[in-house]
Amino acid sequence: MLKQTPHLFYSMLALVAILCLFDLINAPVALLLGVVVAQLWSSPMPKATSKLSKYILQYSIVGLGFGINLVHAAKAGTTGLAVTALSITLTLLVGMVIGRRLGIGRNISLLISSGTAICGGSAIAAVAPVVGAKDDETSVSLATIFLLNAIALLIFPFIGRLLDMSQLQFGFWSAIAIHDTSSVVGAASVFGSDALNIATTIKLERSLWIVPVSLLFSYLYGGGGKRASVPLFIILFVVSMVVGTYLPIPHGLLLGVTSVARRTLNVALFLIGMGLSFKAIRSVGVRPIVLGVTIWLIVGVVSLYGIRVFL
């Protein structure tokens, strides 16, 4: 650890927050910066920093809800809905089974499985406070998902062309097997406009599963073993989706709200990364990465086979 003063620490914190808010660094970079800072400095107020990251995460999730159009998500159709429901359920079950086999803690297994099944970092951000995940558990899970997400963005268009997939097939596959919406959009846009439209719609539908999955985990695991009530931020997330879809709010205003939410999410990811020291990394080992890779390969291969056969 480098010698520090609270003034230096908070100045650095303010600088990174400004970089995030002005969209000069993205989510993976924000998380990585937090991890680097954790190795060099220790927070003078670790409990306050941890609490602040959780609040910012929850507010960001609510803000992102304004960008999810319920009508557009519903237009994915019955085929997309069936495939989505089946893939999410199987991914969560397989992830928990493999996580137990690997001896990984329940929270990390839940977070990585949710991130793989639904929508990457956003799902982890929503599920983490519901199950009471610690900062190091959230950081390890996010780092695993972001790594695989970046790899998927690069290799999926290449694989799709190598296998001569149609626009429809690639749209479905990228929406199911790539974690974050941003990388789904990026990969599909490279493949073609039709693939992009299909992938975006299916991914919107998958994003809606944040709500039932979070509620399920809240019921099963929240409240220290007691049956937890519905988290307020999940209720507000649903409200924000309804407001963004049905009220006559200018589109530019909705885009502004979701843009701010995405940037504040980066601030939260930086704070979360600060909880991931080498000591924390050593405590969890490489098993979370093995879990993330294993689930991702299973989801990618099985969904690819099903799409190639039935679409």
pTM of the full predicted structure?
0.71
Q: Say if residue 228's pLDDT is above 70.
A: no
The amino acid that residue 5 corresponds to is T
Q: Say if residue 191's pLDDT is above 80.
A: yes
pLDDT of residue 225: 44
pLDDT of residue 72: 67
| Chain segment 123-178, per-residue pLDDT in tens | 888 888 888 888 888 888 888 887 787 788 778 999 999 999 999 899 989 988 99
Question: Who has greater pLDDT, 297 or 283?
Answer: 297
Quick one: residue 125, left, alpha or beta (phi over 0 = left, psi -120 to 50 = alpha)? Answer: alpha
**Mean pLDDT (the chain, rounded):** 81
| Chain segment 272-292, per-residue pLDDT in tens | 777 666 666 666 578 888 999
pLDDT of residue 224: 47
Q: Say if residue 76's pLDDT is above 60.
A: no
> Using alpha carbons only, what angle is made at residue 268 by residues 90 and 215, rounded to the nearest 5 degrees?
35
Cβ atoms of 138 and 111 closer than 8 Å: yes
Q: Say if residue 226's pLDDT is above 60.
A: no
| Chain segment 12-65, per-residue pLDDT in tens | 778 888 888 888 887 767 877 887 887 777 666 777 777 787 788 778 878 888
Residues 186-196, mean pLDDT to the nearest whole number: 83
Residues 224-247, mean pLDDT to the nearest whole number: 72
